[in-house]
Structure 1
Amino acid sequence: MGGHVRIHPQCGACGFTFTEYEAVVALCQEGDDAIAIASSTLEYRHTANCDGISTLGRVYCRYPDCKECASSAPTVTIHEECLDFLEQLTTAEDKLSWLWTAGTWRSPWNGAPPLQQALSPVIDAGQFIDRAAQACEMPGLSSLPKELALMIYEQSDRSCLHRCLAFWSYARWWNRSHQKMPKTIPIEEIEEWHRGSHPVMNKGARHGEVESDVQKPIIILSIDFQGLRSITRVQKGDITSYTNANDNLLQSDTVVYVVEAAECFASAQVEYNYPFARLQLTGRPEQFRVWDTPSPPQWQECVVDTDYDSASRAKSHLSTIDTRSTTGLTFFTCFARIWAIHAHTNRRPSAQSTFDMLSPKIQAFVHWIHVPFGSEDTLTAFGWSHTEFNARFFLRLKLAGDIIVGSTYKMNDENVQLIQHPLTLIYERPDSEGVHVVGGHAGGAAPLAAMQLEADEAKDAEAEPTFTFQYRKQPFRSASYSSAPLSNVIRTHVFYGKHLSTLVCRGIMLEYRDGPKRALGQCKLGVDRSEECMNPAQLCYTPVVKHNVNNVQVKVFDGSSHPRHEETDWTCCLMKGTLEFWFSEREVELNWKQ
């Protein structure tokens, strides 16, 4: 059998996303519904084109938007190690059949957008250590203090044992229940269902009762790495109660949500096979928006990208950023595109977890561009621009001013889509693609806040409506640009590369007297080491060239000390003027403009 065989980015057995060059195997459903191994061992590629890998007349395709794959027979992709582990789990003759069922039911409905970018398998650390003790024949592991056990668990992330344990916890249910015929229940009859329990049936509306707009029911679906996690029917005004009850999962990397009016599910059926369930949808299921929060903004109130259409909704889930609870944003840029955004909060102060989700190819070249929000600062405007070869974001902070993130190539005559005073930013990251901004939501405000907002908007109307930027020639390949004034700086943080000499500066954070903050270069909060200086009087830098790679050494001095440099090529900057900072994943170049 020839044709296209879609290679998925997530293992249907353990739920982990594949990494580059991992050994994988494809399963395919043949004409008589038998499940067969459709390939020998393949090397997984993140973005292999349709003609990239071909065997026995088949094209093993990783191109996300391939039309031939969309019309081909359904497939499941698994780790070669998971297939080997299956042999140990069961000797049943139909083991491929139940593995197929388990793999396909990870999707909450047929045609659901690939959600592996958002969902990480959840494995109990204690259970992991107990299994490790058995597998390694080291019973003493089970009696380790919790702190040491957690360190072992975290250091072995994505190990074979991790994957096998995730597969085992999922497969033990399917090994029992895959031969049972699923029950089909109209979703309108279900009040509530959670994986591992039986559905609570809906008693229905009282005869003759007229529902107000607030009373109209909303259906919330939660989805994790094992597929559909729960179905909950709530009144429109009770979403806050649901949100509070699930506070520990909000905007996590383990659960996403569909929040739609119950009438949108009028013809939907729930295919239920204890302890799992999935939906059977008719019509246009791509109309369902998948969010990272159970309380998304009202879509009709959002400012939406002019190029965003319903067809693109099927590509990914929608991520949100609450600008009121964010202490800063880190943008991951590479090859003139934005590949990920991390919103820094008290719960997630470091962007390392977001970096870890990028493919190894992108990780090797990505720039961490941090935009800090001072405690007294607010985001007054957010804009974006996408061209064929460039993507960039525009941020206007009330105190820190205008900041541009992304490629500096050909920035004249910029066509920027802008949101004033956004409370929520909305974006998506389709499979193997960069970030696409969908839009944002300004939201409502309390009376006093609304008055202040109106005053701010009046000032904005008088202010410059566009972001001005003068194109600067890059001093070296793939360089990103940042700049900030040195006047009124009361504190500096100089960041040093983790894998480079401590003399080499990778970024500088500046805090100003009236509250704003600015970041130059790559400021990796919670990742790289930094040195602090209070009330700086001078900032000095000197070039460091090694193997034809340009870097700089930076020293900051307060008023109680005086810089003394043995070398003659130091530039000593009084705390005035502007510091320009060019940087890439390998190089740095500074320029002081008085």
Structure 2
Amino acid sequence: VFGNGDSTSYRGHTRPFAFPQPGHTITRVDGRVLCRYPDCRKCAASPEFAPIHFDCFVIFRQQCSVSASAALNRLWILAAWRNPWRGAQPIYLSVPVVDKDTLKRISGFCGLPRLYTLPLELLEIIRQYSRHSLLWRCIPALQLADYVSAMKPEPLLTVPLRELLFWERSGKFERVIASRPPLQTLRLTVNSAGISKVERLPGPPTYVGECTSRSAFIVQDEASISKVVAQLKDGRLRLNLPISLRTLPIWNTPAPPSLNLCKAYPADLASCQTIYTVEMDQIRGITFFFSSGQLFGIHIHRSEESYAMDTFSRNFPNRLRRTVVWIYLPISQYDRIFVLGIREALQSRDLNVLVRTELIGDIVIGLQSKGDVKDRCLAASAPVTMIYSEPREGRPVRFFGAHCRPPLDQALPKPFRLEKPGSCPIDDDAYFSWAPLCGVSSTLVFYDQNTGFCRGILFRYQNGGSRAVGQCRLHVDPAESVDRPVRLCFRTSSCPSRWNRTRHMVQVKFKQGARTNHTEKDIEGWEARPMKGLVKYWFTTESSFLVVES
């Protein structure tokens, strides 16, 4: 569906079409070019569009009890004004829990009449494995039809944002009274339906570690948004930004940390919209997505069940996915991160993420370093608050840093050692990781589902720490767990690949049983090593190579 020139009313809708990949395209729908190129000037001058699943659109129109024109006009405001302003990047919030009353309505004609009787926890697990099914998309379509059928339309009202004292969705707004100077800090709350609340605060709130995935927040001094206009219609509110203001920072905390207390690299905050704070003591791991040595995405694992496929799918178009590696940083509940940093290769500008934990020690995440490097310390004491920006689709992360708690003049930690893994055996641009084999309590080997070769290994140690090598794609690739292993068995092979390169692959198995202190190799090429020394692991998107050093 698309709107008029100022996006305040419905103008029309297109025929159904396949949603395009990011970038320029020559595909036309009803005479219009389907373009998803970031910051495209032609798109900025065209009417605003809001994409809707065709089957959801059909269900919505069938279930609305008002006229078609009234339903489409109200639908436009609800769909387009989910974005806090025109051109805002998508804000990824947690999905609301399943509405059982609506599920009861549809489960009968879906052939699942007892589905709605399941506990919410089971429904959420089922939805997680089938979230794009029409069954789940039908629920918000029906809810939207019910809401549109019952709502009373309200006329458009335009007010400078600086004149708003308070507003809450579907309620009346309060204006600033001239005789009473208003509080100078504004906070806007955003949820999955758009801006839900505008309020004023005595001053910038103090960050206390509160983070949420259910809402997002814009906190600004009144002077910085003096030219921003608020549009109100049908119980909704949207911002109209001046040309000089491209975006406003959106945080996952109601009290964003002061940027004066943050150290970051890269630190291009002006080009960032959505910024996340992460209390690293409260999470179970991080998946870093790298491509060509650059950090392209981050997924936070807040539980052992979390998996990063959703972040991968939304951040990377098809053409980029084949160049992306997943690097998992496990954070044991018994361990603690107390140093976070960045290593920059001065010649290539490749980045490594540097992490130091209490139980595991130093971890270097990224391409194998070559040439001169420069290390930057972002945080040097626990608890560490990591801050990063949501990248534009197909673009690298533009802000990565940490919030530094007082005192700010903390002594620098001891330097991270420069890894010297030796010559890279598989590719000039390979990623490198390593782990000790002593003191391992269990292993989890991740396999490529198509070939059966090893993608990565997660080690858990007797002291409570964890370390990963290779690509450990939790709950994405099949994995095999072994408790108290005594031998590492591996076999490497190779075959020709594209562009006259050689593809290397490794098979890995951990064995239990009687301990052994000697190395064995059979006629099939399998090598068995005792759990001593170090395992070194080089990998790219299609190759992997393992070496055990005493």
TM-score (norm 2): 0.80
User: Deviation at 1:35?
Assistant: 4.8
CA RMSD of the aligned region, Å? Answer: 4.2
- Structure 2 residue runs of 5 or longer lacking an equivalent are 497-502
1:497 matched to 2:447? yes
Local SS of the residue matching 1:129: helix
**How far, CA to CA, are the matches of 1:267 and 1:290 in structure 2?**
18
Match of 2:529 among 563, 573, 577: 573
Q: Pick from 484, 489, 502 the counterpart of residue 435 of structure 2.
A: 484
1:295 paired residue number? 255
Letter in 2 for 1:106: R
Instruction: Give the structure 1 partner of residue 459 of structure 2.
Output: 510
Question: Deviation at 1:397?
Answer: 0.8
Gaps of 5+ in 1: 1-25
The whole-number CA distance in structure 1 between the counterparts of 2:228 and 2:30 is 40
User: Match for 1:591: what amino acid?
Assistant: V
1:471, 1:29 → 2: CA distance?
Answer: 62
Partner of 2:299, secondary structure, is strand
Report if aligned partners of 2:228, 2:242 keep a CA contact under 8 Å in 1.
yes
In the alignment, is residue 413 of structure 1 matched against residue 372 of structure 2? Answer: yes
Deviation of 1:357 after TM superposition, in Å, equals 4.1
The answer to whether the 8 A contact 1:30-1:36 is kept is no
In the alignment, the residues of structure 1 paired with residue 121 and residue 83 of structure 2 have an alpha-carbon distance, to the nearest angstrom, of: 35
CA 1:127–1:64: 2 relative to 1, 3 Å: farther
Alignment correspondent of 1:3: none
Secondary structure of 1:162's aligned partner: helix
Give the Cα separation in 2 of the matches to 1:56 and 1:183: 32
- The aligned counterpart of 1:554 is 509
Deviations 1:463-492 (A, max 9, x none): 36x855567445269853322233x43323
Deviates more, 1:28-37 or 1:257-266: 28-37
Please tell me the residue identity of whatever aligns with 2:289.
Answer: F
The answer to whether the 8 A contact 1:533-1:558 is kept is no
Whole-angstrom distance in 2 between the partners of 1:35 and 1:386: 51
Superimposed CA distance per residue, residues 74-110 of structure 1 (whole angstroms, 9 cap, x where no aligned partner): 3333333344334313542354433333332112123
For the structure 1 residues 141 and 124, does the alpha-carbon distance in structure 2 shift closer, same or farther, using more than 3 Å as the test? closer
Does the C-alpha gap of structure 1 residues 377 and 306 become closer, same or farther in structure 2, counting only changes over 3 Å?
A: closer
Letter in structure 2 aligned against 1:383: I
Following superposition of structure 1 onto structure 2, how do residues 272-291 of structure 1 map, counting pairs within 5 Å?
A: 272-282=232-242, 284-286=244-246, 288-291=248-251
Note the C-alpha offset of 1:272. Answer: 3.1
Could you tell me the percent identity over the aligned residues?
Answer: 22
Aligned partner of residue 75 in structure 1, secondary structure: coil
Distance change (3 Å), C-alpha of 1:322 and 1:41: same
1:219 maps to what in 2?
A: 186
Q: Which residue number corresponds to residue 529 of structure 1?
A: 479
For residues 119-268 of structure 1, the aligned pairs below 5 Å read: 119=93, 121-122=95-96, 124-136=98-110, 139-144=113-118, 149-174=123-148, 179-185=153-159, 187=161, 190-199=164-173, 217-236=184-203, 250-252=211-213, 254-266=214-226, 268=228
Match of 1:520 in 2: 469
Q: Which whole-Å deviations, capped at 9, do the CAs of 1:242-297 have from their partners, x for residues lacking one?
A: x89xx6xx331x42211223443445454333532223444744362111222221
Structure 2 residue 306 is the aligned partner of structure 1 residue 345: no
Could you tell me whether the CA contact under 8 Å between 1:384 and 1:437 is conserved in 2? no
1:99 aligns with 2:99: no
Q: Is the 8 A contact 2:7 2:47 kept in 1?
A: no
Per the TM alignment, residue 36 of structure 1 is displaced from its structure 2 partner at its CA by: 4.6
Structure 1 distance, partners of 2:175, 2:528, is: 73
Range with bigger deviation, 554-563 or 282-291: 554-563
Post-superposition CA distance 1:503-555 (Å, at most 9, x none)? 75432223456665321122344554342333x54322224779987330322
Shift of 1:227: 1.0
CA contact (8 A) 2:442 2:460 kept: yes
User: Which residue is equivalent to 2:393?
Assistant: 432
Alignment CA distance shift 1:518-1:524 (3 Å): same
| SS across alignment from 1:78 | coil
Q: 2: CA distance between counterparts of 1:306 and 1:360?
A: 23
Q: Equivalents in 1 of 2:543, 2:420: separation in Å?
A: 23
For 1:2-41, what per-residue CA distance to the aligned partner results, in whole angstroms no more than 9, with x for missing partners? xxxxxxxxxxxxxxxxxxxxxxxx5353799985546543
The alpha-carbon deviation at position 65 of structure 1 amounts to 2.4
Match of residue 46 from structure 1: 21
Q: CA deviation at 1:298?
A: 0.2
Alpha-carbon distance between aligned partners in 1 of 2:398 and 2:250, rounded to the nearest angstrom: 15
Is the aligned partner of 1:66 residue 2:29? no
Distance 2:529 2:227 in 1: 69
Letter in 1 for 2:144: Y
Aligned to 2:51, the other structure's residue is in SS state: strand
Distance in 2 separating the partners of 1:95 and 1:101: 10
Counterpart selection for 2:488 from 534, 539, 560? 539
**1:110 and 2:86 equivalent?**
yes
Query: Which residue identity is paired with 1:555?
Result: F
For residues 346 and 203 of structure 1, the distance between their equivalents in structure 2, rounded to whole angstroms, comes to 47
Looking at structure 1, the residues matched to 456 and 297 of structure 2 have their Cα atoms a distance apart, in angstroms, of 19
Match of 1:370 in 2: 328
Matches of 1:470 and 1:138, distance apart in 2: 56
Q: State the TM-score, normalizing by the size of structure 1.
A: 0.75
The amino acid that maps onto 2:340 is A
Give, in whole Å, the separation in 1 of the partners of 2:140 and 2:305. 25
Q: Residues 483 and 154 of structure 1: is their aligned pair in 2 closer, same or farther, counting only changes over 3 Å?
A: closer
> What is the alpha-carbon distance in structure 1 between the residues aligned to residue 201 and residue 5 of structure 2?
41
